[in-house]
Amino acid sequence: MNKELTATELITHLELEPLPHEGGYFRQTFKSSLMLEVQSREGDPPSSRSASTLIFYLVTPESFSTLHRIRHDEVFHFYLGDPVESLSFSSELDCDRVRMGSDLIKGDALQRPIQRGRWQGLKLCPGGQWALLGCSVAPGFEFEDFEAGRRSQLLKDYPRLKDAILEFTLGDASGSS
């Protein structure tokens, strides 16, 4: 861990910005010039997408990746800082948590693939100050491929995952929980 750096210093040095609708801080560092025609969802007409994108992604105790899903496969890469916990699920029976970090002896993962369409969230493990990750998406990420999880709807759809949903969401914009 690189304790001499602070989250504020990383945000400034890497020119990170708040990530809308999800949380955390990001900057896109690569967008492939190769364009693909993809059908993101069954029944949708094909649309043009970059073959892949890559971002820096920073989480802090106050700003983390709230539950969301995207239409394409995504891989997180751990770079620096404190360990994080990644949650992913598609049903109440298909839910997993993976700890990412630099302690390979303890079983920390350096990479975390997330299949398209799965709900996912990522936050610091207790006591952590910040973590810097990378995130690759293929075909490339566009904000129209993003769906933010609404706490109230997720609790209705996945009642057995109540504790995880409460941990990885904020209250709905309407003020309900």
pLDDT of residue 174: 42
Q: What is the mean pLDDT of residues 31-58?
A: 90
70, pLDDT greater than 70? yes
Q: What is the mean pLDDT of residues 52-74?
A: 97
Q: Report pLDDT digits (tens) over 106-162.
A: 999 999 999 999 999 999 999 999 999 999 999 999 998 999 999 999 999 999 999
φ and ψ of 151, to 5 deg:
-50, -50
Residue-range domains of the chain with CATH: 7-167 (2.60.120.10)
pLDDT-derived band of residue 3, with 50, 70 and 90 as boundaries? Answer: low
* Least confident residue range of 1-5, 32-36, 94-98: 1-5
Tokens read off for 160: 């057995």
pLDDT of residue 49: 92
CB-side exposure of 39: number of CA atoms within 13 Å? 5
88: nearest Cα among 99, 77, 78, 96: 96
**The model's pTM:** 0.90
pLDDT of residue 173: 53
pLDDT of residue 42: 75
